[in-house]
Structure 1
Amino acid sequence: MAEQNVITSMLDDLSQEQPIHTALCIGQQIDQNASIQWHHFNVTDFLSLPFTQRYDLGFVLFDTDEMQTINDTQKAQLLVKLRDLMAKRIVVVSKLSDEKLLRSLGFTQLIDKTAHDSDFALWQFNILTYKHVPDWFNSKFWANPENWDKFRW
């Protein structure tokens, strides 16, 4: 029951940042929020699913019995397809042993693993906050329009 409360409060927090209308869940059937249209898939169905739409949220539970049977390659394929094609934002509930895979795919940790004694971690990927744009990456430092009539390049 506590897990459902955590998922509900997390969905409320994510909805406040960006509206969530459609969500994709892999690993377990979740229907926590009635305002969100949920679509559930198992791993094999999802990996063979053609791209038809981009969902607002992808929710993956690596801590279920179904997910224990897949290997790291299938986990990486699932996350990459979800990240690159299917979802704008992804939340992953995983074991601590999946940290290396998730970090290598650009996920950031939501719950510090040292703050609890359980073998789980909560990760997210949001394309809007994935990379901070550096100050030098703008037209001010590239085109130099103030020098167009002064120097011959």
Structure 2
Amino acid sequence: MSSSTQTPQQAIAALLQEQQPTRLLVLSASGFPALDAFMDAYPDTALGLAGPGRLPAELAGRRFDLALVVDCLEHLSLREGQELLGGVRNLNSGRLAVLADLQASPWKETDFYALALQKMATFVRDEQTLGLFTYDVRQYKQAPDWLNARFWANPQHFGKYWW
């Protein structure tokens, strides 16, 4: 994938504008301009903020429309990051966006793919390479075309009985 013409902040701002979450979870070691601009434009958005590491108890039991991970994985080991992203993806949000510095963290692109994330963009500046990876449970696996009444042994029972 070639380098994006957008900056990472522009890509995150576009993602936030497209999704317009009413409940947003942000995992970051620092603030960033795209989040500030989004919160100024949508002040009613419920924002959950946490730093790198385990989610605080008050956030761990909540659901969010979107989880955004920026400047976080660079501060964790690969295993800690996998546990964090897997937990957030499975328990806290069906949509996840991760911006990671691939040289400053132990992560490789295949580590994101292993967690079912897709690469959306690559940002290259000097010696730094950032990757933007996303996950959306609604787009993760489409129902196969054979899974319908036409291929069912008893079409009149399709979707009625589970055994």
Q: Given the two structures, how large is their TM-score scaled by the length of structure 2?
A: 0.71
Q: Is the 8 A contact 1:47 1:78 kept in 2?
A: no
**2:140 matches 1:130:** yes
Q: Which runs of 5+ in 2 are unaligned?
A: 1-6, 157-163
Secondary structure at the aligned position of 2:153 is classed as coil
Partner of 2:16: 11
Quick one: distance in 2 between partners of 1:106 and 1:37? 26
> Paired residue for 1:38, among 47, 50, 54?
47
What is the rounded CA distance, in whole Å, between the counterparts of 2:85 and 2:8 in structure 1? 22
Aligned pair count reads: 136
Correspondence for 2:85: 79
Shift of 1:48: 5.7
RMSD: 2.5
Structure 1: give runs of 5+ residues left out of the alignment.
Answer: 147-153
TM-score normalized by structure 1?
0.75
| 1:43-54 equivalent positions in 2, closer than 5 A | 43-46=52-55, 51-54=60-63
Q: Which has the larger radius of gyration?
A: 1
Structure with bigger RCO (C-alpha 8 Å, 6+ apart): 2
The residue matched to 2:49 in structure 1 has which SS? strand
Percent identity (aligned): 22
